[in-house]
Amino acid sequence: MGYYQLYETDFNLWIEQTVNHLKKGNLQALDLDNLIEEISDIGRNNRREVFSRLKVLLMHLLKWQYQPEKRTNNSINTIDEQREQLELILRDSPSLKPYLADIFAECYQKAVRGTVNETNLPKETFPVDCPFSQEQVLNWDYCPENSFQTMDMAVLGENRPAVKTNFFLAK
Tell me: the pLDDT tens digits for 25-81? Answer: 999 999 999 999 999 999 899 999 999 999 999 999 999 999 999 998 999 999 999
From 2-11, 97-106, 122-131, 139-148, the region with the lowest mean pLDDT: 139-148
Task: For residue 13, tell me if it sits in a domain.
Answer: no
24 is a domain residue: no
Helix 73-92, helix 32-66: angle, nearest 10 = 150
Of the listed ranges 43-57, 100-114, 132-146, the least confidently predicted one is 132-146
pTM higher than 0.95 for the full model? no
The answer to whether residue 1 scores a pLDDT higher than 90 is: no
pLDDT band for position 150 (50/70/90)? very low
Domain assignment present for 156: no
pLDDT at 156: 37
- Alpha-carbon distance of 59 to 118, in angstroms, equals 9
Residues of the chain by 3-state class (helix, strand, coil), percent to 5: 70, 0, 30
pLDDT at 152: 36
Residue 84 lies in a domain: yes
How many Å apart are CA 147 and CA 75, to the nearest integer? Answer: 17
Complete DSSP assignment for 8-38? HH-HHHHHHHHHHHHHHT-GGGS-HHHHHHH
- Domain ranges, residue 95: 48-142
Q: Give CA–CA dist 43/41, Å, rounded.
A: 5
Which whole number is the average pLDDT over 2-29? 94
Tell me if 69 is assigned to some domain: yes
In a domain, 23, yes or no: no
- CA angle 53-54-55, nearest 5°? 90
Q: Inform me whether the pLDDT recorded for 145 exceeds 80.
A: no
Q: Which string of DSSP letters, residue by residue, matches 92-119?
A: H-GGGHHHHHHHHHHHHHHHHHHHHHHH
On the question of pLDDT at 167 being above 80, the answer is no
The number of distinct structural domains making up the chain is 1
